Amino acid sequence: MRKAALVVISVLSCGAALAATDPPRPTTTATPSGASATPVKHTSLKACNKQADAKNLTGPPRVAFIRNCRGGKPSS
């Protein structure tokens, strides 16, 4: 029983030590003009659905359009 408890404690403490050593995440900074340096590739599902509604798309063409829209691909 003692060995099992020691194993559990050591595993938990190793996990905590690894979590504490994660590299810092890069921070995003806005450019002076207000535009981002990289274009947004993943449009929100809500925006893509609005565009699909405006085009009166249904069924498989709608699914394909939304997939392309979310992926940042130009619509045809």
Q: Which amino acid is at 69?
A: C
Q: Does pLDDT of 51 surpass 80?
A: yes
Q: Are 43 and 70 in contact (CB under 8 A)?
A: yes
53 inside domain: yes
**Residues contacting residue 45 through CB under 8 Å, at least 6 positions apart:** 66, 70
Answer whether 73's CB lies under 8 Å from 55's CB.
no
Summarised one tens digit per residue, pLDDT across range 26-50 is 665 555 555 555 555 566 889 999 9
- Domain ranges, residue 55: 41-76
Please tell me which residue, 7 or 62, carries the higher pLDDT value.
62
Give the Cα separation of 48 and 71 in Å (integer): 10
Does residue 73 lie in a domain region? Answer: yes
- Please give, one letter per residue, the 3-state secondary structure of 48-64: HHHHHHHCCCCHHHHHH
Number of domains in the chain: 1
Q: Name which residue leads in pLDDT, 4 or 49.
A: 49
